[in-house]
Chain A
Amino acid sequence: MLAIEDLVVAYQGQDVLHGISLQVEPGCGALVCGAGASGKSTLLATACGVVPRLVNAERVTGRLQLGERDFAEIKRAELFSRVGIVFQNLDDQLFDLEVEDVVAAPLENRGVPRAEIRARLAELFEELAIQDLGGRRVLTLSGGERRMAVLAGALAARPELLVLDEPTTGLDPAARLRLERSLSAVRDRIPLILAADQDAASLAGAMGRIHLLQAGQLAGSWPTAEALALRTPWLEAGLLPPRRQERPVRAGAAAGGRVLLAVEGLRTRLTRPNGEPVLHDVTLELRAGEVTGLVGRNGAGKSTLIQTVLGLAPLAAGRIVIEGEPAERWTAARRARRVGYLPQNMRRMLFNLSVLDEIAFSVGGSTATIGDPEIRARAARALAPFGLADKAEASPFALSAREQALLGLACLDAAGCAVAILDEPLLARDRQGRAMLDLFLRRSHEAGRAVLLISHDLELIDDLCPRLLILADGRIAADGPTEGGWASPAFQALGWPAPEAPWRIAS
């Protein structure tokens, strides 16, 4: 059993966790849900010993027990040999290794014989259906593929306690289902599972109990089936309830404006291991004031499509037309002034020293104008709607993932691009985050901007996008109204449940 008793953790004079007590029973996974900045990651990091063994905190009090022993009695090497961990931001635990190295690392470090490691790798690759990732450098994978590789690594050593922070982020619905099944299947081998996720429904089948965290305190705990049926406690905790009650009015429903981005017959120079181009015949149009959703399997080429449109990946054939002008020969920077991009990991797009500098760069479009008082004043005004006014002087690298995503939205809005591409924004299930996303979409609609929203969260797409694109087999396999998209052969071929499908509940 993992027992946490009266846990308090403080950073920089501020309590992040206020006296948390919870227990994880063998065979009964615990899922912690909470809005951004509610303390989920800190709770998990403390529960697996990362805080304070690897990351210092100003104050950690309370009692943590793994099995019969207090954490304080367990030496670092022993503790981390008994615990498997997947962080929310995979960049915090990955470097440039092959996928097999990532999965095998815990076994190699324990001196497990080669034959045993190889057999375990083969078993895990099959179980998680990641055979295609073999031999690939982990930093060249898509976000979802990376997460599957790290999850396989965490499962490889069959730890006593498995700690997963937002494990479904970036995973397509099929991969989420595989993860859920794997976690259910390993319950006899990995007795203790503690996870945090905003998408409770995705992991419901593998978790026995849900704990809601609100501003660093436990707001309640229920058996999973009971928790999923509730509504008010989720809303009070700042989250959208797992079961949708109604669909909001979509921004950009009245589409049909002029074409702002047109892609015709796009073929990429980037190829798959079998030599086939990642994308071979992509044709699409984005119109003014329209919000379009794009879905596709992990590794389908969604990020490659965006990189090619932005001029960051080479084009083998096809046309890219931005606001009526052929843009194939434009530099990436020239395209970026018309087509703004919010990536999955916004940290990868930051290069200034303060939040205000970042947005001033977006307002002025150059580092030379960052110091201009007028630009800085406009930049400060642009931060306010997204709740970042008090972070203006902070380092953008010190913001949380959610705050960085908000900064990304603020930068896109301030830059005034004709087209905005949002790649899996980390704001979907958090009420405040969703409100900011809605605000951005509303402002985009008013400004006549076209928005392309890429996500594996089908409910999010269904809620916000009147039009759906499905990327499969290197081309746009379906393009039309979202309701029809869920019934299209291209979507059926993915084998994913449509957003309306009933939730599966843990028995």
Chain B
Amino acid sequence: MKRLYEVNFLVKLVAAFLVMAAAWLVASPWPAVLIAALVVLLLCVTRVPGLGGYLKGAAILVAMVLVTWSINLGLQGQPLAEALPTAVRMAARLVATTAAFFFVMETSTPGSILAAASAARFPPMATLVLSLVFGIIPMLREEFLRIADAQRARGMEIDGVPFHTRLRYALARGIPLLVQSIRMAQAISTALAVNGFDAATKRTTWRQVGLLVEPRLPLNEVRKP
């Protein structure tokens, strides 16, 4: 199933848009729930990195949508039997959408995105923007975890403490995360500049790109100059 990770980023992106459109276009709640369940099943079967975190977030999202929509519609005079299916449909739409794009984001490396966009002869600036939008979020998440590890390695007890303390420490990571985000943006811009990135020149790629994007160079099969 890991071969699904290698599917061309643009194909995954189109598929995610189609899933989102289907979830939002269906009129009744249960087909939307079915779509959401199928996408979450896909995440589980393919063991997408960060799945545990996503499922926690999705569970909180579902609970919040069900409660707030039911209350809101109830205050507007709808009986619970009518309000609840509407809330379920909305929660399912959101889960289907976020899960589909989570799959795209977590299974596409910035390199594979650059390759797919370069092979499609996208303008260099569009290639760059796509790569950054989808590539930087996992990088920031890893940076957040890395800062937590740095805090642990310096002796800050962030594991065996009550939830509110853990939350406070997590919020305290905001400042170093901001500093690192700025550095990361600077590193990306510097890397592009010193490697001769030029918005006027269309990029090529070392990867074979088709329905799948080659994840590594088969050194034995390449003819050396």
Contacts and interface: CB of A to CB of B under 8 A. Distances in A.
Whether A and B are associated in the same complex: the answer reads: yes
B222 interface: yes
Interface stretch (A75-83, A229-237, A258-266, A493-501): A75-83
Interface string A108-147: 1111111011111111011000010011010100000000
A7 B29 CA distance: 71
A504 B150 CA distance: 41
A310 B150 CA distance: 11
Contact of B111 (A50, A98, A348): A98
B219 A134 contact: yes
Nearest to B176: A351
B160 A134 contact: no
Contacts of A336: 152-155
A351 B139 contact: no
Nearest to A395: B179
Given A114-B204, A117-B204, A131-B219, A108 B118 contact: yes
A348 to B, nearest CB: 6
A353 B189 CA distance: 25
Contacts of B189: 54
Nearest to B201: A111
A367 B175 CA distance: 14
Nearest to A106: B195
A153 B195 contact: yes
A107 B184 CA distance: 23
> What is the predominant secondary structure among interface residues of chain A facing chain B?
helix
B146 A96 contact: no
A100 B208 CA distance: 13
A365 interface: yes
Nearest to B168: A367
Nearest to B185: A95
Contacts of A106: 195-196
A337 B183 CA distance: 29
Nearest to B184: A95
A100 B194 contact: no
B187 A109 contact: no
A105 B195 contact: yes
B152 A311 contact: yes
Contacts, number: 191
A312 B152 contact: yes
A384 interface: no
A135 B191 contact: no
A96 B138 contact: yes
Given A96-B110, A153-B195, A332-B153, A54 B190 contact: yes
B180 to A, nearest CB: 9
A341 to B, nearest CB: 5
Interface in B138-183: 138-139, 142, 146-147, 149-160, 169, 172-173, 175-176, 179, 183
A234 B207 CA distance: 48
Given A114-B204, A119-B224, A336-B155, 17 more contacts: A92-B190, A97-B109, A97-B114, A100-B216, A108-B114, A118-B206, A131-B219, A135-B215, A332-B153, A332-B159, A336-B154, A349-B154, A350-B176, A351-B172, A351-B175, A366-B156, A415-B155
3 closest residue pairs by CB, A with B: A135-B216, A332-B152, A101-B111
Interface of B: 109-111, 114-115, 118, 135, 138-139, 142, 146-147, 149-160, 169, 172-173, 175-176, 179, 183-184, 186-198, 200-208, 215-217, 219, 222-225
28 contacts: A54-B189, A77-B196, A77-B200, A96-B110, A98-B216, A101-B114, A105-B191, A108-B203, A108-B206, A110-B196, A111-B203, A118-B217, A119-B222, A119-B225, A120-B225, A123-B225, A126-B224, A153-B195, A311-B152, A312-B153, A331-B160, A332-B149, A332-B152, A336-B153, A336-B154, A337-B155, A361-B156, A415-B155
Interface of A: 48, 50, 53-54, 76-77, 80-81, 83, 85, 91-98, 100-101, 104-114, 116-123, 125-126, 131, 134-135, 137, 139, 153, 157, 310-312, 331-334, 336-337, 341, 348-351, 353, 361-362, 365-367, 397, 411, 415
